[in-house]
A and B are shown apart, each in its own frame.
Chain A
Amino acid sequence: MSILANKDTRAVIIGGVAGVNAAKRMAQFDFLINRPLTIQAFVYPPEAGQQKEIFRGGELKNVTVYSSLAPALAEHPEINTALIYLGASRATQAAKEAIESPNIKLITMITEGVPEKDAKRLKKLALQHGKMLNGPSSIGVMSAGECRLGVIGGEFKNLKLCNLYRAGSFGVLTKSGGLSNEAMWLCAQNGDGITSAVAIGGDAYPGTDFVTYLEMFENDPDTKAVVLIGEVGGNLEEEAAEWLAAEPRRIRLVAAIGGTCQEVLPQGMKFGHAGAKEGKKGAGSARSKMNALRDAGALVPDTFGGLSKAIKQVYEELIASGAIKSESELDESLLPELPPSVQEVMRQGEVVVEPLIRTTISDDRGEEPRYAGYAASELCSKGYGIEDVIGLLWNKQLPTREESEIIKRIIMISADHGPAVSGAYGSILAACAGIDMPQAVSAGMTMIGPRFGGAVTNAGKYFKLGVKEYPNDIPGFLSWMKKNVGPVPGIGHRVKSLRNPDQRVKYLVSYVKNETALHTPCLNYALEVEKITTAKKDNLILNVDGTMGCILMDLGFPEHSLNGFFVLARTIGMIGHWIDQNNQNARLIRLYDYLINYAVKPERPVPDKK
C-alpha cells in the first residue's frame, strides 16, 4: 500500500524539456515494476502536436504533447495526476487549471521559485476543490512497487539499491529532495524499505503540510513508521509533534531536524531552503522542533548521523512486536535490467553491427579532429599549412615542402578570374537576388563542368593516358583522342594564344620545371602536345586547367580529385564576389532587352482548347 501515488495513478506532465526528462526516469520505474506507463500526456504549448519518445525498458512509446490541459484530459480520461515542470512565472496558472480540472486529484509542483503569494493562493484553491497540492519545489512522490512521480529516486540502479521495486514499512516525509532519496536509502539499509516517500519542498509555504501526510500514513496499514526530515523555520514540525501527541498513534515517528548550526552562527545569518528561517525569539528553531517532537514521543537523534541507528532500532522493535513480519526477500537478480543502448552493448563486444559508411581520412572521436592520423592543432603548431591539410584529406599523404609550395600556387592562381566568367557571374547574379552565401556560392559552383573549370580531371586523365599508351607518339595520341573523346581537354583558350600566352600557365610551368625537382612526365607530354596543336591553330595552347591537371597527376593526386583543386580555389573567389555584392547592397539585375535576341513567333491568338 501507499499514499498519494499508486498503481492507478496516471499523470500528465505540464512543462518542457525538464518534464520530458522526468517522464523518461518515470518510465524506467514503470519498467522495473512492470506497470503501464504512468505518463499519458504532456502539456506544453510551444511543442503542441509533437510526440515525445519515451522508452519503457526496450519498448518505445510515443507520448503526445498538447497545447493545453483540457484536450489532454479529454483524450486521456484516465489521468488523475498532474506534474508541473514549468518556470515560476507560468507554473501558477498551470497549477490553477490542474486544480480546477475535475479528474485531477493530485498536483505535484516541481517548479522552484514560485512566489509565496501564489503558493498560498494555490493551497487555498486546492483546499476548496478538495485536491492534494504537493510542492512547490518538490522533487516528487515515490510509492515503492507502485508509482513514481518525478525524478525522486534518481537513476535506475538506485531504484534497486533502495528496494523501491517493492513496498516496505516506512513512510518518508522530507522538505528536501536530496534527503528524500537519502532517507529511502537509509530505510532500505536499516529497515525493510519504504511504502511512500513524499518531498513537500523547502519553500516557506508548502501546499501540503507534514500533518496531512502523517494522517494519510496513519491510515495506510502497510506503513508502520514514518521517517520525517525537517528543518529550522516555520512550524510544520511542531504541528507534526502536536499531531503525534494528540492521541495514540499506530505509526512510529523518527525525525531528524536540520539547522542546529544556527545556534552558533552570527545573528541574522541563515542559509538553506527558502523556508529555513528562524522566527523572532527562537520560534521555529531546530532545537525547539527537536524538543517538541521528542516530547510528543518521536525518536529524534541529535544529528543526522544518528538517523541510521534510530531507524534500525524502530525496525527491530516493530519486528519484535510482530507489527512487521519479515517476509522472504524478492530475488533481486530476477529484476529486469534496463536494456542497454547499442553503444553500450558494442563496447562490451556482445553485438556486431555492419557499419553504414567507411572513412579512411579523418577521425573526430578523440579530443580533436585528426587528419589521416595527425592532430589538427599539432599540424598548426609544427608550421604546416592548408596545402598540407589538402594533401592529407585528398591524398592521405603529407606533401613535401616542395610539393606543398606547388599546391599552394595552383590554388592561388585559380582562386578567381573576374566577374565575367560563368562561376563568378552565377554567384553575383544570385547575390543580387538577395540569396544567402551558401546558396549563392553553390549557384556559381553549378557552372563548373565541361566548359568551365571542369576540365582539370579529364586533362590529367588523358595526358596520363598519353604518357602511358602513346609515349613518343603524339600524333597517335591526338588521333585516338579525336576518335574517342573529341577536343583534347586542357588544350585551347577562348582569348589566349601562342602570341598572347596565359601568364598563369607560363608562371606555373616555369616554377615547377625550374624551381622544383618534381619529376613531370605528364606536364612534359602536354607541352609536347601543345607544340603540335598550336602549329595547327594558334589558340590551341595548353590552358590553365590542362597545366594544373598535369602537374597534379605528376604530384600523385588521385585522378578524380583533380577538379577539386579548381572547385576549392574558385570557392574563394565566389565567396569574395558574394561579399562584394552584399557590401555594395547591389540591386537585383535582369538582362536588358537589347542583350536578347527575341527569336520568337509573332503575337498570335491562343486557339480554343480541344
Chain B
Amino acid sequence: MAKILEGPAMKLFNKWGIPVPNYVVIMDPDRLAHLGEANKWLRESKLVVKAHEAIGGRFKLGLVKIGLNLDEAIAASREMIGTKIGTAEVRQVIVAEMLDHDAEFYVSIISNRDGAELLLSTKGGVDIEDNWHTVKRLFIPIDENPSIEGLTELACDAGFEGEIAERVGKICSRLVLCFDNEDAQSIEINPLVIRKSDMRFAALDAVMNVDWDARFRHADWDFKPVSEIGRPFTEAEQQIMDIDSRIKGSVKFVEVPGGEVALLTAGGGASVFYADAVVARGGTIANYAEYSGDPADWAVEALTETICRLPNIKHIIVGGAIANFTDVKATFSGIINGFRESKSKGYLENVKIWVRRGGPNENQGLAAIRKLQEEGFDIHVYDRSMPMTDIVDMAMRS
C-alpha cells in the first residue's frame, strides 16, 4: 500500500481524463504571486489552500483555508509553510480552485481479492457516512472493464438522471481505466462536484493508494508514497527505510511514542505476535521493528542502534521464530555490535534485554550474544526450547 498526496493523484487523474479543478503545488508563497500573474483562474476564482503533507486532521489544525482570493491565498500559504506539527513540518501547500457547484457526489474504487468494486452515490460530501445506504456498488472482475453503458446504468440506479448520469458513467469509466492502469489499490473521490450552468465536473478532493510494488512499470511515478501510519515519518524511520531500500531482505522500524518495551524482532509474522504479547500483558510498545530475509549484519546493526536510542525504554525484546534461512549467527553479530556501540555511547542504562531465537547457526549466534553478560549487559538469552513470546511474559514480570 502506498498512499499518495493530492497533487500526484490529481496529476494521474488528469492523465486519464478525470476532471479536476485547476491547482498548483508550491513551496514558496512568492511563486504563487507569479503564478497569479500567469493564470487567470488564480485571480478570478475563490481558492482553497491546503497543507500538502501527510498530516491527518488538517482542517482542525488550521491547515486548510477556504474561500480565499489570491492575496489571501498567498497570506495563508505564507502562514502554513514552515508550520511544525509534532515532528512534521509543512513544506508544501496545494492551492486549488474552489469550483462553485450545485451538487456533491461520491465515487470510489476499492481493490478486492477478485478485482475491484466501484461505489457510487449522489449524496457525496461530508455526510457520506450517514448516507452510506445510498451507495450503489458494481463488482469489476480482474481484467474486465465495464462498458460505459453499464456504468451509466449504475449511475441511473444510484439516482443520477439524464445527461448527468451519462457524464458520471463516463467519468466512472475513466476512473476504472486510471485505477487499472496505474496499479491503484483504492481511489476515493469525495466530493465529485458539478456546476450545472456549464455542466462542469471536478474531483474536488481525492485519496488514492497505489501498489508501490508495481513501481517498476510506472516510469512517470515521480512521487514518493506518504506515510501510512497517520503521521509523517520521523528521521530515524526514514533512515531505516533508506537502508531497507538498499539491502537484500528487509529492516523495518516504526516509532510508537511513550512505550516502554522496545521490539527488535525478526519476521513479519512473529514480530506482530511479539507486539501483541506486550500489549496482552499490559505493556506498552516503544516501536515496531522487523528484520527478515537474511539481511546484512550492518543493516541489523543500524536497526539495533536506532532501537537503543528510543527514549525511556525498560526492555528490549530480541525475539523471533525459528528462522528458515535468516542466519542467526550473522544477524546476531549485527545486534551484538549495535548493543556494544550503544552502550559505549551511554544508552541501555537500566535496560533489560530478552533474547529468544532459533534457526540456522542458532547455537553460535546465541552463544555469542550470551557473552554480553560478561560485558555488563542485563541480558537474558533463551533458545528454541523457550516458547516464542514467553520472554515477553518474563520481561513484564521482572
Contacts and interface: CB of A to CB of B under 8 A. Distances in A.
- Output the residue of B115, B185, B270, B278 with the most chain A CB within 10 A: B270
Nearest to B115: A120
Contact of B216 (A21, A88, A264, A268): A88
B213 A114 contact: yes
Contact of A258 (B56, B256, B266, B273): B273
Contacts of A176: 267-270, 321
Contacts of A89: 216-217
B211 A117 contact: yes
A205 B113 contact: yes
A282 interface: no
A154 B290 contact: no
B276 A303 contact: yes
Interface string B253-286: 0101000000000111111110111111000110
Given A182-B388, A269-B230, A115 B115 contact: no
Contact of A124 (B142, B275, B290): B142
A202 interface: yes
B322 interface: yes
Nearest to A236: B113
Contacts of B170: none
Nearest to B392: A305
Contact of A265 (B256, B280, B292, B361): B256
Interface stretch (A67-75, A270-278, A317-325, A468-476): A270-278
A547 B389 CA distance: 78
A36 interface: no
Contacts of B277: 303-305
Nearest to A279: B110
B166 interface: no
B359 interface: yes
Given A116-B185, A272-B269, A154 B322 contact: yes
A258 B254 contact: no
Contacts of B361: 155
Contacts of B211: 115-117
A261 to B, nearest CB: 4
A178 B229 contact: no
Interface string B361-386: 10000000000000000000000100
A181 B324 contact: yes
Contact of A260 (B269, B279, B284): B279
Contact of B269 (A118, A258, A265): A258
Given A176-B269, A274-B1, A303 B389 contact: yes
Contact of A263 (B271, B279, B288): B279
A88 B324 CA distance: 21
Contacts of B56: 268
A332 B345 CA distance: 49
B1 A304 contact: no
B276 A115 contact: no
A286 interface: yes
A484 B213 CA distance: 81
B254 A271 contact: yes
Interface string A245-274: 000000000001011110111111111111
Nearest to B278: A261
A154 B294 CA distance: 12
Interface string B164-193: 000000000000000010010100000000
Contact of A88 (B142, B213, B268, B285): B213
B230 A177 contact: no
A229 to B, nearest CB: 7
A177 B267 CA distance: 8
Interface string B100-136: 0000000000010111000000000000000000000
B358 interface: yes
Q: Interface extent on A, as a size class?
A: 35 or more
Given A178-B269, A272-B269, A272-B290, A117 B279 contact: no
Nearest to A267: B230
How big is the B interface, by class?
Answer: 35 or more
B390 A151 contact: no
Interface in B204-236: 211, 213-214, 216-217, 228-231
A305 B359 contact: no
Contact of B142 (A120, A276, A305): A120
A104 B91 CA distance: 54
A261 B185 CA distance: 25
B163 interface: no
B37 interface: no
Nearest to B256: A265
B269 A231 contact: yes
Contacts of A161: 384
Given A178-B322, A185-B384, A271-B252, A277 B1 contact: yes
A177 B359 CA distance: 12
A152 interface: yes
Interface string A183-207: 0010000000000000000101100
B280 A260 contact: yes
B382 to A, nearest CB: 13
A115 B213 contact: yes
A154 B325 contact: yes
A114 B271 CA distance: 22
B324 A154 contact: yes
B44 interface: no
A179 interface: yes
A270 B229 contact: yes
A590 to B, nearest CB: 51
Given A115-B183, A158-B359, A258 B272 contact: yes
A308 interface: yes
B276 to A, nearest CB: 5
Contacts of A132: none
A423 interface: no
A114 B288 CA distance: 24
Contacts of A564: none
Contacts of A112: 293
Interface of B: 1, 56, 111, 113-115, 141-143, 180, 183, 185, 211, 213-214, 216-217, 228-231, 252, 254, 256, 266-273, 275-280, 284-285, 288, 290, 292-293, 320-326, 358-361, 384, 387-390, 392-393
Would you list the 8 A-B pairs with minimal beta carbon distance, nearest first?
A176-B269, A268-B230, A178-B267, A182-B321, A115-B214, A178-B321, A261-B275, A258-B272
Given A118-B214, A271-B288, 11 more contacts: A123-B113, A155-B360, A178-B320, A178-B321, A181-B359, A264-B279, A268-B229, A268-B230, A272-B268, A273-B269, A303-B276
15 contacts: A21-B325, A116-B111, A116-B183, A116-B211, A139-B324, A155-B361, A178-B267, A178-B292, A181-B324, A182-B322, A231-B272, A272-B288, A302-B280, A305-B277, A305-B393
